[in-house]
Amino acid sequence: MAFLLGDGVINLTPAEAKTRKIPFRSLDQKQVSTLDFLSDAIVPGAKSAGLSHFIDHQLSAPYEDNLLILRYLRVNPPFKNFYASALKAFERSARLKYNKSPLDLSKVEISEFISIMMQKNPAGWPESEKESEKESEKGIPPAPFFYFVLRSDAIDVTYGTVNSFDSMDIPYMAHIEPSHPWETPS
Whole-number Å distance between alpha carbons of 78 and 96: 29
Coil, strand, or helix at residue 10? strand
Summarised one tens digit per residue, pLDDT across range 42-79 is 999 999 999 999 999 999 888 988 889 999 999 989 89
Q: If we measure between CA atoms, which residue out of 40, 5, 41 comes closest to residue 20?
A: 5
Summarised one tens digit per residue, pLDDT across range 145-175 is 999 999 999 999 988 766 666 776 777 666 6
- The radius of gyration of the chain from alpha carbons, rounded to an integer in Å, stands at 17
Whole-number Å distance between alpha carbons of 80 and 11: 23
- The predicted pLDDT at position 91 comes to 96
For 76, 77, 148, 152, 178, the CA distances from 69, given in Å and listed in that order, are 12, 12, 9, 7, 19
User: When comparing pLDDT for 32 and 2, which is higher?
Assistant: 32
At position 101, the amino acid (one-letter code) is S
For 67, 156, 161, the CA distances from 152, given in Å and listed in that order, are 11, 6, 14
Whole-number Å distance between alpha carbons of 147 and 38: 10
Q: Residue 135 pLDDT > 50, yes or no?
A: no
Whole-number Å distance between alpha carbons of 44 and 165: 15
Tally the C-alpha atoms within 13 A of residue 110's C-alpha that lie toward its C-beta.
20
Give the whole-number percent of the chain exceeding pLDDT 90.
57
- The predicted pLDDT at position 178 comes to 60
Partnered with residue 4 across adjacent β-strands are 9
54-59 long-range contacts, Cβ below 8 Å, gap at least 24? Answer: 54/1, 54/14, 54/17, 54/153, 54/157, 55/27, 55/83, 55/153, 56/24, 56/25, 56/26, 56/27, 56/32, 57/1, 57/3, 57/14, 57/17, 57/25, 59/25, 59/26, 59/27, 59/83
Average pLDDT over residues 6-10: 65
Whole-number Å distance between alpha carbons of 119 and 11: 38
- The predicted pLDDT at position 136 comes to 47
